[in-house]
Amino acid sequence: MFRAAALTPFHPKLSPLSSSAERVRYAETDQMGIVYYANYLVWFELGRVELLRSLGLAYSQMEKDHKLILPVIESNCRYRHPARYDDEILIETRPALVRESVLKFAYQILRAGHDGEEPKLLAEGETIHVVCDENLKRMPLPAQYSTALKKLMRS
């Protein structure tokens, strides 16, 4: 997973973004034989962590150095096609909004195509975060993060 972060073109009208690859775990399926719906939010988290890492901003360092956490205040997901066990999925993430202490990320979950096939869109969604200190008090996003994210949005 952690070797796949890269800035790749996403969609003509969208910003470049970070893309990471995962394989669906058995633990992520349920008895319908498809991935349990809450697990897409776990994948969104992997996507935004990779996005930050691709900008040189490790989330683990953010927590340690800046005592800064990014709790989610809103999430949503539209499920288009079910992901299944052992599928290779791509998580594409881009910043969708950067305010003083509010961040929004947009995600697409795709199944990797084989033999020249196009990747298939499985789900898409957004999460909104508020920048907080460790006591969950709102604080401004440090400049190095907001600059990097805004630059990515314009690119």
Residues within the interface to its own copies (CB under 8 A): 1-4, 21-23, 25-27, 29-34, 36-39, 41-42, 45-46, 49, 58-60, 63, 69, 71-79, 82, 85-86, 88, 127, 136
CB of 141 to its own copies, least distance (A): 17
Residue the block writes with tokens 């909104």: 128
CB of 69 to its own copies, least distance (A): 5
- Please identify, using beta-carbon distances, which residue of 53 and 153 lies nearer to its own copies: 53
Q: Is residue 30 annotated as a catalytic residue, yes or no?
A: yes
E strand intervals along the chain: 7-8, 17-23, 68-69, 72-79, 88-98, 102-111, 120-130, 132-133
Rounded CA separation 86/10 (Å): 24
What are the residue numbers of the active site?
30
